[in-house]
Structure 1
Amino acid sequence: MSTMTNTDSTGNGSALSDSARTEAGRARGLRLSGMNWLVWRQHRAAYWTLLAATLITVAVIVYQRQQVIAYLDGYGYPRLKSGWEEKFDRGPLDWAAQMLGLLPVLIGVFLGGPLLAGDLETGTAKLVNAQSASRVRWLATKLGMTALVVVVCTAALAAAYTWWWSPVKSSSYVLEWADPAAFDSSGPVPVALSLLTLVGGVAIGMLLRRTLLSMVVTLGFAVVVQMVWSHFRMSLGNIVTVTTHNGVGDNTFPHVPDTAHEMDQSYLTASGDLVGWGSCAEQTSEKATNACLDKAQVVGWSVDYIPMSQMSSMQWLGSSILLALTAGIAVFVILWGRKRLV
């Protein structure tokens, strides 16, 4: 009798124990553990700040987009009537674009620069190195988790801004697509620029080992990246050239799409050579100007432009180059840190 009771009791206890272990395992599966938990807890203030700022900004953009649509509905959106641009307030779009343009710099300085420099300066890196986890795993977790948070936030902001701008994207009055405010704030570009400055800041912090100094140098690095990117951005497109042979008087300028970004315009000579359009501008009279044009044998115009249809391909091509540079720096951080970090 007692044996049966014990058997039943043991069986029930075993079943309950298995059930409890299963539930506990599920609960643990929903939480970070090990190195992931350590990295998140160490940098949770920066992560949560970035995530919260992103959430608030996206909410503001959603509201602003509703305001834009409400205004455009009065002009027959999506087929807009003429005159809608006169009272359209482009200020919020400009302001948001400027803020998004600063985002890669802020991420590099305040998140990338101190990421490893702080641990190396305070000695935390030596403590972690004394544990069972390898340096490579520690570096990979720090880079991976931080990059994931940055990608989620910047992708959300870029998608929201692109969605906000899309109803008036075809109007150069609001924002010209080739302008840095529009080109660098939409599509994949904000993500790629932010990752490059982030990983570049991490590499700088690893080499300098001082938090404040790393942040200052990272600021310079981020500014240089922005300047170089601005210089080469338009070279990512395929230039379209149109010419005329009807002289350079009234109504002779070649047709260029309204949304196209004009790269250059020149006079076309009879021999096919190009002459700068300002070469005869210094003449004091129309007669002298015509004489100058006749002397150069100018027969028409030549205009180089990039159509708006290339914007998306240019953004993805440029982003792939930036991401390739980011990957190269990340590999350097892992290889250098594996042997020389501490």
Structure 2
Amino acid sequence: MKGSLWLAWRQQRLLVGVGAAVLVAAAAIAAYYRSAMLDALHSGLFDHCDPGPLSCTQGDTGPLLLLDVEPLQYLGTLNLVLPVLIGVFWGAPLLGRDRELGTHRMVLAQGVSRGQWFASRFALAAAATTAVSGVLAGVFAWWWRPAADRSYGLFWYENAALSGSGPRVVAAALFGLAAGTLLGLLARRVLSAMGLALLVTGATTLLLEWAHRTRLLVPPHRYVSAGGVPKEAMGDKWSTGHYGLITASGRRDDVLNCPYPSGAELEACMARHGYVARFYEANPVGDYWAFQWTDTAVLGGLAVLLTVATVLVLRRRV
């Protein structure tokens, strides 16, 4: 096995080096910009700002106060597209290059079994992928924490934070590796496998983002306030944009039937139509972890299934 691992390292050391360089660069950039973020927060400029989502201005009529979170969003976006990059540039050539060039036959002729050939390459790639994605997710979380869920920072439900942090980043990266590896084994050419990996991992990433927006996998909570009582503040919840009114029988109607924020007009309209309460739907900040673990289960499960499929194909086609 040592010889097979040595060969796997020889073939993948450039990619491991690129991954290490990305981590060093990300950590250095994060340290620089996080330090500037903390300096801004400690300057007193934001002391009068509400800790929640309400926009904060410099004075009564001044400009909006915002931290420089654009570099942080770039890191979140990198983490979001990480499965695509790993699937295309690491997974697809992992076995596909040897298959295309026929060099796997020489390796297998040296007494290395198919299982060893696959395991040595995939284990090294999976370990490196886990390390790179895990550290990048950790760097994002460390950088994001001082500005989390503030009007002048970055909210938990924004794409860069929700899909660019937490354990789902690791699961997504492993899914990308597994998908690319299987496609590299099935396709006749590495370039074809890379194109297919781009399509599959990109489509899966977009599908999960759509599932987030539609709350397909993590349903929203419904918040109800009786009569004309002011609704519970949205705060750091992620609104679905679905507001409405409730009759005594429990029927829910659109909020536009009584389009008044509060006061006598609202109460008169509700009484006229028989409405007894108002509601809105949103996900509270605690659902961040519900989204995280749901995505992790989906992507991790797909990674396991694709890896098993790769082993089965390997036995029949190589």
Whether TM exceeds 0.5 here: the answer is yes
Secondary structure at the residue paired with 1:308?
coil
1:42 correspondence with 2:21:
no
Answer yes or no: is the 8 Å Cα contact 1:199–1:330 preserved in 2. yes
Deviation, structure 1 residue 296: 4.5
Counterparts of 1:160 and 1:223, CA distance in 2:
24
* Match among 283, 286, 301 for residue 306 of structure 1: 283
Answer yes or no: is the 8 Å Cα contact 2:96–2:184 preserved in 1. yes
* Match among 307, 311, 316 for residue 334 of structure 1: 311
Answer yes or no: is the 8 Å Cα contact 1:203–1:329 preserved in 2. yes
Secondary structure at the residue paired with 1:98?
helix
Please tell me the residue identity of whatever aligns with 2:21: A
CA-to-aligned-CA distance 1:36-66 (integer Å, 9 cap, x gap): 1100101211221122112211221122111
Q: Which residue of 1 is the match for residue 160 of structure 2?
A: 181
1:242 correspondence with 2:223:
yes
Counterparts of 1:212 and 1:168, CA distance in 2:
42
Q: Which residue of 2 is the match for residue 266 of structure 1?
A: 244
Cα distance, 1:225–1:34 mapped onto 2, change above 3 Å: same
Answer yes or no: is the 8 Å Cα contact 1:172–1:259 preserved in 2. no
Secondary structure at the residue paired with 1:265?
strand
Bigger shift: residues 304-313 or 129-138: 304-313
How many aligned residue pairs are there?
A: 300
Structure 2: gaps (5+ residues): 50-55, 58-63, 260-264
* Match among 150, 154, 157 for residue 171 of structure 1: 150
Q: Which residue of 2 is the match for residue 65 of structure 1?
A: 34
Secondary structure at the residue paired with 2:286?
helix
Q: Which residue of 1 is the match for residue 295 of structure 2?
A: 318
Secondary structure at the residue paired with 1:255?
coil
Cα distance, 1:256–1:87 mapped onto 2, change above 3 Å: closer
CA-to-aligned-CA distance 1:60-102 (integer Å, 9 cap, x gap): 112211111111112399xx54258714222222222222222
CA-to-aligned-CA distance 1:247-278 (integer Å, 9 cap, x gap): 4xxxx441134111112322222321111224
Q: Which residue of 2 is the match for residue 3 of structure 1?
A: none
Q: Which residue of 1 is the match for residue 21 of structure 2?
A: 52
Answer yes or no: is the 8 Å Cα contact 1:121–1:210 preserved in 2. yes
Bigger shift: residues 332-341 or 156-165: 332-341
User: 1:87-98, aligned counterparts within 5 Å?
Assistant: 87-98=66-77
Please tell me the residue identity of whatever aligns with 2:211: F
1:199 correspondence with 2:168:
no
Please tell me the residue identity of whatever aligns with 2:82: L
CA RMSD across the alignment:
2.7
Counterparts of 2:237 and 2:294, CA distance in 1:
19
Secondary structure at the residue paired with 2:232?
coil
Counterparts of 2:19 and 2:188, CA distance in 1:
24
CA-to-aligned-CA distance 1:88-124 (integer Å, 9 cap, x gap): 2222222222222222211111111121111111111
Secondary structure at the residue paired with 2:282?
strand
Bigger shift: residues 253-262 or 291-300: 291-300
Structure exhibiting the larger radius of gyration computed from Cα positions: 1
Structure 1: gaps (5+ residues): 1-31, 282-287
TM-score (norm 2): 0.85
Counterparts of 1:172 and 1:34, CA distance in 2:
55
Answer yes or no: is the 8 Å Cα contact 2:246–2:252 preserved in 1. yes
Cα distance, 1:60–1:279 mapped onto 2, change above 3 Å: same
Bigger shift: residues 312-321 or 182-191: 312-321
Please tell me the residue identity of whatever aligns with 2:142: W
Answer yes or no: is the 8 Å Cα contact 1:253–1:301 preserved in 2. no
Counterparts of 1:159 and 1:191, CA distance in 2:
10
Secondary structure at the residue paired with 2:111?
coil
Cα distance, 1:41–1:246 mapped onto 2, change above 3 Å: same
